[in-house]
């Protein structure tokens, strides 16, 4: 054996020999700091105010807008497969529901408020996150209340959005997640949660680093929330704004966020990593948004790559960057894929 050993010639340093560490599939899985599990996944649901609605969203492959009557039958098999959490988005389709103040957002008979109560009753183990914003409910489609010059009135918006968040929490949401980007809304929501005596049982997840760009298109088709004029560049972050994102993350941690979210995900892995560094003592979530999801589908359809392989590669990138919670339209597929 000793002659065999000495006859082996190794070019370079002995530390160059890495292959042995990842020859076996299990050994390859061990190379990851974090492996994807079902409990990391939050699945987005679009809930419309037409009770029997079940409409495919063309730009969001395989995703539907559903009315209240379609929710339970849809969720049943997913919960059986291990679905742990959903995030709800309300989609008012009835005419005349939208106004300048987004009054319908917390209508007790509106789709989100009803869906919270229904899901909570039928699936008591399912963790219910509710997206908090006004853009689905405002006639102008912006994420707050506007001034006469069409810019956001931050104070009025924060007052209103924090009221909406409290309504969702009182209806039974486990987590409220403001995605509006108005300054100071985390603090306002936290204070009202405390005032209501429900701060101890309501998780506050901040879309702290939410960037503007072209990746929310399919979502806005689904939710009917395209702004009627202008864009969201004066409240969502500019794509190059790493410093701004760090300031927003630090601010929202200081204002009482329990979880920090980064959105979109794949284009902003450095921001996820920053969030983990700045918020090392709290979980970081990433939203693999509608445009990213549609892009993976389009690439797979064009034969550029295999859908499942890419879905995992993207997700592994997000985990590697530091997120341990992922909002993903691939959740139903992952529930199957993670079994095999």
Tokens (6 digits) for 164: 């909406």
For Zn ion (CB under 5 A), the number of binding residues is 3
* Interaction residues for ligand PBG, span 139-158 (CB under 6 A): 143
Q: Does 330 bind ligand PBG (CB under 6 A)?
A: no
Find which of Zn ion, ligand PBG, none residue 220 binds, CB within 5 to 8 Å per kind. ligand PBG
**Is 210 marked active-site?**
yes
Positive or negative CA dihedral for 118, 121, 123, 129? positive
For ligand PBG (CB under 6 A), the number of binding residues is 11
Distance CA 168, CA 129 (A): 9
Minimum Å distance from CB 232 to Zn ion? Answer: 8
Q: Which of 57, 104, 143, 260 binds Zn ion (CB under 5 A)?
A: 143
Query: Is there a cis peptide before residue 264, judged by omega within 30 degrees of 0?
Result: yes
Minimum Å distance from CB 302 to ligand PBG? Answer: 21
Please name the residues in contact with 186: beta carbons below 8 A apart, sequence gap of 6 or more: 178, 204, 206, 208, 251, 252, 255, 256, 257
Q: Does 135 bind Zn ion (CB under 5 A)?
A: yes
Find which of ligand PBG, Zn ion, none residue 123 binds, CB within 5 to 8 Å per kind. none
| Three-state DSSP class for residue 296 | helix
Find which of ligand PBG, Zn ion, none residue 36 binds, CB within 5 to 8 Å per kind. none
Q: Tell me which of 70, 98, 210, 276 is the catalytic residue.
A: 210
Residue closer to ligand PBG by CB (options 81, 220) is 220
Residue closer to Zn ion by CB (options 143, 177) is 143
Distance CA 293, CA 334 (A): 13
Q: Which of 48, 85, 114, 179 binds ligand PBG (CB under 6 A)?
A: 179
**Which stretches does DSSP call E strand in 16-81?**
41-48, 54-56, 64-66
Q: Which of 49, 53, 106, 131 binds ligand PBG (CB under 6 A)?
A: 131
Residue 206 near residue 186 (C-beta atoms within 8 A): yes
**Is 263 marked active-site?**
yes
> Quick one: which H or E segment has residue 295?
helix 290-301
Residue 92: closest CA among 121, 53, 57, 63: 53
Which residues here bind ligand PBG, judged by CB under 6 A? 131, 133, 135, 143, 179-180, 216, 219-220, 289-290
Binding site for Zn ion (CB under 5 A): 133, 135, 143
Question: Which residue numbers are catalytic?
Answer: 210, 263
């Amino acid at each position: 054996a000793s002659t065999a050993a000495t006859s082996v010639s190794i070019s370079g340093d002995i530390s160059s020999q890495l292959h042995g560490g990842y020859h076996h599939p299990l050994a390859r899985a061990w190379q990851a700091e974090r492996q994807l599990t079902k409990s990391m996944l939050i699945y987005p649901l679009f809930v419309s105010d037409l009770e029997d609605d079940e409409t495919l969203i063309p730009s969001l492959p395989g995703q539907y807008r559903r009315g209240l009557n379609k929710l339970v039958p849809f969720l049943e098999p997913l919960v059986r497969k291990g679905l742990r959490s959903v995030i709800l988005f309300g989609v008012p389709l009835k005419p005349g529901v939208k106004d300048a103040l987004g009054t319908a957002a917390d209508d007790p008979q509106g789709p989100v408020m009803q869906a919270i109560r229904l899901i909570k009753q039928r699936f008591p183990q399912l963790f219910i996150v509710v997206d908090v914003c006004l853009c689905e409910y405002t006639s102008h489609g912006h994420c707050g209340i506007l001034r006469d010059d069409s810019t956001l009135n931050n104070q009025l918006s924060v007052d209103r959005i924090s009221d909406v968040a409290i309504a969702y929490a009182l209806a039974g949401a486990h987590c409220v997640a403001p995605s509006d980007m108005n300054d100071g809304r985390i603090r306002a929501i936290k204070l009202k949660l405390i005032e209501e005596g429900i701060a101890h049982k309501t998780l506050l997840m901040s879309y702290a680093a939410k960037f503007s760009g072209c990746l929310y298109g399919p979502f806005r088709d689904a939710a009917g929330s395209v702004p009627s004029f202008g864009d969201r560049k004066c409240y969502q972050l500019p794509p190059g704004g790493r410093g701004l994102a760090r300031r927003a993350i630090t601010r929202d941690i200081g204002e009482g966020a329990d979880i920090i979210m980064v959105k979109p995900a794949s284009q902003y892995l450095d921001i996820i990593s920053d969030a983990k560094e700045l918020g090392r003592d709290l979980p970081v979530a990433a939203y693999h948004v509608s445009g990213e999801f549609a892009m993976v589908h389009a690439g797979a359809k064009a034969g550029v790559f295999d859908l499942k392989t890419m879905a995992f590669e993207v997700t592994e990138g997000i985990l590697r960057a530091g997120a341990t919670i992922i909002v993903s339209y691939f959740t139903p597929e992952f529930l199957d894929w993670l079994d095999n």
